[in-house]
Amino acid sequence: MSVISRRLLLGGSVGLPLVAIQTHRADAAPVFRYRLGTNLAPTHPLNVTLSKAIGQIKARTDGRMQIMLFPNSALGSDTNMLSQIRTGAVQFFTLSGLILSTLVPEAALSGVGYAFKNYDQVWAAMDGKVGAYIRSRIATHGLTAFEAIFDNGFRQVTTSDRPILNPADFDGLKIRVPFAALWTSLFKDFGAVPTSINFDEVYSALQTHLADAQENPLAIIETSKFYQVQKCCSLTNHMWDGFWFLANPTAFEKLPAKIRGIVEEEINHAAMAERESVAALNASLQGKLAAQGMKFNNTDSQAFRDVLIKAGFYTEWKTHFGPQAWSLLEGAVGKLG
C-alpha cells in the first residue's frame, strides 16, 4: 500500500502511474505462502525440527518461501488431509506410509509386522531400495515424497487395564488403529478387535473407552499424553512406522528451482535431525512414563510372530504386495514368515 501511495504521489496523477506500478509488481520476486499440516503435538521432534527448517528456508530465500506449520491435525484429520494435499488445498503434509497406503498400496510395505528388527535395518532399507521403490510408487499416484522419511518409531501397545504379556492377551481387545488395511489385518490376526480412528480422536476415544487400547511409539505416548488415559504399556515393537514428507506436485513445481532445492535440502536435513531426537526419546522415555504411572512389560517377539505366521499374515501380504516389493523387503530384513 505504501509503495502504491508513494508512486501515486510522485506521479502526480491518478491514471498514469498504474503501468509503473504493475511493472514494478511484476518485477518484484513473488512470495510463496504454503501450508504444512502434521498430526502430532507441537512438542514432538517432528514439529520441532520442521519448525527449525521452516525458519532456515525463510532466511535462505530472503523471505520468499514462507511455510506455515499446523501441528495437531489443525487443518484436518489424516484421511481428510490426504484428500486436501491431492487437490492442493494444502501444499505439504507429513503422513505415515501405512495411512498413505489407502491411496498408494505399496506404501504400507515398511509396516509389515515384525519385519524390521532394528534401526540399522530401517534406515538401510528406507534410505535405500525399499524407500526408493515406495517413493516411485507415490509419484505415480500424483504426490511427491521427499527423499528422507521422518521417524515415527517402533510401535508399542498400550491398554487401559490388562497388560499384553502374550498373544492370547489380545483376545477380544478393542484396539484403536489408524486407517490402513495392514493395521486392521495385523490386529485381527492377533485376535483383537481393531477399530480405525484418526489420530486427532484417539485421546478422547481412549478416555470414553470407545477403544481400550492403542499402539504408538513412546515419543507419541508421551507428547500426546496417552499415559493419562492408558495404564499398561507392552513393549511389542510390532511394527516400525515413519512419516513421508509429501508435497502437492503442482504447488511444488510452481516454486522456482532454487527455492525448491532449498526446501528439499532443509526438510531432508530436518528428517535426519528428527530421527536422532526420536530415537533418543524412545530409548529414554520409559522411565518418565513409568513415573507418570504406566506399567511396562517386555514381550517375546517370536511368540507374536508365530501367531502371525499361523494366521497366514505373511502369505496374505506377500500376495498383496507382489513378488517385486516383497523381495525388496526381504532383501532388507531377511526371510519373512
Binding site for ligand X2X (CB under 6 A): 39, 96, 99, 152, 178, 199, 216, 220, 241
Q: How far apart are CA 187 and CA 308, in angstroms?
A: 9
DSSP for 175-188, please give it. EEE-S-HHHHHHHH
Helix (H, G, I), strand (E, B) or coil at 68: strand
Helix (H, G, I), strand (E, B) or coil at 115: coil
Q: Which is nearer to ligand X2X, 61 or 226 (CB)?
A: 226
| Minimum CB distance to ligand X2X, residue 179 (Å) | 9
| Minimum CB distance to ligand X2X, residue 65 (Å) | 26
| Minimum CB distance to ligand X2X, residue 102 (Å) | 12
Q: Which is nearer to ligand X2X, 116 or 199 (CB)?
A: 199
Please report, in angstroms and rounded to a whole number, the separation of the first and last CA atoms in the chain: 67
Q: Which is nearer to ligand X2X, 96 or 230 (CB)?
A: 96
Q: Which is nearer to ligand X2X, 201 or 330 (CB)?
A: 201
311, with CB counted inside 10 A (0-12, 13-18, 19+), is middle
Q: How far apart are CA 240 and CA 260, in angstroms?
A: 30
Q: Which is nearer to ligand X2X, 220 or 270 (CB)?
A: 220
Give the relative orientation of helices 129-140 and 119-126 as an angle to the nearest 10 degrees.
Answer: 50
Q: Which is nearer to ligand X2X, 61 or 94 (CB)?
A: 94
* Residues 200 and 322 sit within 8 Å (Cβ to Cβ): no
| Minimum CB distance to ligand X2X, residue 229 (Å) | 14
Which residue, chain included where needed, has cell 518484484?
28
Which residue, chain included where needed, has cell 535426519?
272
Give the relative orientation of helices 18-27 and 2-11 as an angle to the nearest 10 degrees.
Answer: 140
| Minimum CB distance to ligand X2X, residue 280 (Å) | 18
| Minimum CB distance to ligand X2X, residue 9 (Å) | 54
b/e per residue 238-258 (b: at least 16 CB within 10 A): bbbbbbbbbbbeebbeebeee
| Minimum CB distance to ligand X2X, residue 151 (Å) | 11
Q: How far apart are CA 324 and CA 97, in angstroms?
A: 18
Q: How far apart are CA 76 and CA 192, in angstroms?
A: 28
Give φ, ψ of 233 to 5 degrees.
-130, 115
Least Cα distance to 57 among 269, 262, 272 occurs for 262
Q: List Cβ neighbours of 130 (8 Å cut-off, separation of 6 or more).
A: 109, 110, 328, 329, 332
Q: Which is nearer to ligand X2X, 17 or 194 (CB)?
A: 194
| Minimum CB distance to ligand X2X, residue 300 (Å) | 24
Q: Which is nearer to ligand X2X, 158 or 216 (CB)?
A: 216
Q: Which is nearer to ligand X2X, 65 or 78 (CB)?
A: 78
| Minimum CB distance to ligand X2X, residue 220 (Å) | 6
